[in-house]
Amino acid sequence: MISKIIDNFKKKSLKGRFLLVISLLNFIAFCILGSLLLFWDKLKLNLPNNMQLIVGCSILLFGLLRFITQVKRLNALDDE
């Protein structure tokens, strides 16, 4: 399975690989930001606790959805 993923990655164009790596870094950044909002108690924002949880979950969900749509878009570009 991993060899299939590596082969697919090698088949992509240089632009496709670059955009995939950038979207992966973007996803990691959103996950870190959302996790900080969810789990770091020393982070003092002018938000109530329940609002901080909602914003943190929203950021995590946004990062995941953005990564999924970017991968689908890159796969559609490679199919052309």
Measured in residues, the chain has a length of 80
pLDDT score for 25: 92
Name which residue leads in pLDDT, 78 or 66: 66
Measured over the CA atoms of residue 25, residue 31, residue 37 and residue 43, the dihedral's sign is: negative
Q: What is the mean pLDDT of residues 20-27?
A: 88
pLDDT score for 14: 80
Name which residue leads in pLDDT, 16 or 55: 55
pLDDT score for 1: 58
Q: What is the C-alpha separation between 48 and 80, in angstroms, rounded?
A: 48
Scanning the chain, the segments in alpha helix (DSSP H) are 2-11, 14-39, 49-79
pLDDT of 79 higher than 70: no
